[in-house]
Amino acid sequence: MTAAPALSTSDARTARHVWKRTRGPLIVLVLILVAGIVMAAVRSGDQHGRLDPRSADPYGSRAVAQLLDEQGVSTRVVTTLDDATKAVAPDSTLLVANPDLLTPQQQRQLRTAANESGSRTVLLSPGPPSASTLAPGVQAAARKPVSARSPQCSLPAAVRAGDTDTGGFRYTANVPGSDTCYLSDGLPTLLRVPGRDNGDTVLLGAPDILYNDRLDKQGNASLALQLLGSRPHLVWYLPSLRDTAATEGGDRSFVDLVPPGWIWGTLQLAFAAVLAAIWRARRLGPLVTEQLPVAVRASETTEGRARLYRRADARDRAASALRAATRAQLAPLLGVPASRAHAADALLPAVSAHLPTTARDLPSLLFGTAPSDDAGLIRLADELDALEREVRAS
């Protein structure tokens, strides 16, 4: 004997089916990986980053670093707090690219080192998390758009530079001798706070004057060179997640140290993923036929259901099912609409008209009560079957 072939089921997953289901996401993933490798290879020989003096990107700051070098000002890039505090000196200017990335403990350490050295400290876009700590007596106010503004102050660097692209954070200061320049709604976007030993702190609400693509606009270059080139050495501090001091104190979480652009990009990707899921969920697709896992004969199904009724002693349900099936079979034979097949006032007169001489109790047979025992249920089934045969014969 030959073995019967195995039946394929709807749950079976062939290699072709799995490939069709997963090829889309796999292709997208491969394209992303390839694009990432290509971009990394192209950029491997150059420095890129916002406000990085080594970057030639539009938002980099290589141009201002080169101009400072031509004026004899050396620029040293540091990415850790330890390097920044060690490099600061009376003859240096300390620029902090993004002060809000620093923890409160880092801010206090940086402020102490700058005060003790008597250097100039330039803070780019310090907001509420850092302004009051790095510059005591100063509070950051709401942002304003960057636009060309006039100095409106007596600070020599601002007066010589004239109109510049300023904006961003605005500040209020309760420090005698402060210079408030480039006002926006009455509050300065550039603030100079005097310190001890000829040191001072400059808060710049927006760093746009240092960007490569905006250095040649307005008096941006003049203001940038005067703020950063007043001393022979410039320490350009780019806060980095590699800074081991960032974990000391436990005041801020990893999310707090992530640049806002990454968080915003992640939210956009999550929103796009939700939209893609909704879009794909609405595609029901065409109907497909599926083979049943097991082929079961109708007689076996009937016998199995009968055994369940018997085990549950549900003669009422069995009798109701038998009568309903008989009424459904008789209705089309007698010309009774299907919607009225189970109505006694419609079905009984039709049966009587076809079988005028029948001796059966039709109301009890078709609409009666449930039998009291199994023998009665069997008799009911036999009588219903005989009635259907008589109607067909007539």
pLDDT, residue 41, reads 57
93 forms beta bridges with 120, 234
Higher pLDDT, 305 or 60: 60
Residue 311: how many other CB atoms lie within 10 Å: 8
pLDDT, residue 182, reads 96
Distances in Å between the Cα of 72 and the Cα atoms of 38, 39, 195, 231, 237 are 38, 35, 25, 10, 19
- Mean pLDDT for 344-360 is 83
Q: How far apart are CA 265 and CA 254, in angstroms?
A: 16
Which tokens go with 160? 């010589």
52 and 58 in contact (C-beta within 8 Å)?
A: no
Distances in Å between the Cα of 82 and the Cα atoms of 91, 132, 136, 165, 244 are 18, 22, 22, 33, 9
Of 362, 90, 351, 366, whose CA–CA distance to 233 is shortest? 90
268 and 126 in contact (C-beta within 8 Å)?
A: no
List, for residues 129-171, the tens digit of each pLDDT value. 999 999 999 999 999 999 999 999 999 999 999 999 999 999 9
pLDDT, residue 17, reads 72
Distances in Å between the Cα of 150 and the Cα atoms of 20, 114, 157, 190, 192 are 63, 30, 12, 11, 16
Residue 68: how many other CB atoms lie within 10 Å: 21
Is 293's pLDDT higher than 90? no
CATH architecture for the domain at 62-248: 3-Layer(aba) Sandwich (3.40)
Radius of gyration over every alpha carbon of the chain, rounded to an integer in angstroms: 43
Q: 360: which DSSP letter? A: S
Contacts of residue 193, Cβ cutoff 8 Å, sequence gap at least 6? 135, 137, 138, 173, 175, 178, 200, 201, 202, 203
Which tokens go with 211? 């960007």
List, for residues 209-265, the tens digit of each pLDDT value. 999 999 999 999 999 999 999 999 999 999 876 665 544 444 555 555 555 566 777
Band the pLDDT of 192: cuts 50, 70, 90: very high
Q: What is the Cβ-side half-sphere exposure of residue 255, based on CA atoms within 13 angstroms?
A: 3
CB-based burial, 4-34: b 16+ in 10 Å, e otherwise: eeeeeeeeeeeeeeeeeeeeeeeeeeeeeee
Domain-by-domain residue ranges, the chain? 62-248, 252-282, 320-393
Asked which of 9-23, 183-197, 349-363 is least confident by mean pLDDT, the reply is 9-23
- Mean pLDDT for 301-315 is 80
For 222, counting Cβ atoms within 10 Å of its Cβ (0-12 exposed, 13-18 middle, 19+ buried), the class is middle
- For the chain, give the longest Cα–Cα distance: 128
Which tokens go with 156? 């020599």
CB-based burial, 119-151: b 16+ in 10 Å, e otherwise: bbbbbbbbbebbbebbbeebebbebbebeebeb
pLDDT, residue 123, reads 96
- Mean pLDDT for 77-86 is 92
Residue 315: how many other CB atoms lie within 10 Å: 18
Is 291's pLDDT higher than 70? yes
pLDDT, residue 257, reads 56
Mean pLDDT of the chain: 84
| Residue 237 φ then ψ, to 5° | -95, 115
List, for residues 373-389, the tens digit of each pLDDT value. 888 888 888 888 888 88
pLDDT, residue 107, reads 93
pLDDT, residue 156, reads 94
Of 205, 126, 188, whose CA–CA distance to 153 is shortest? 188
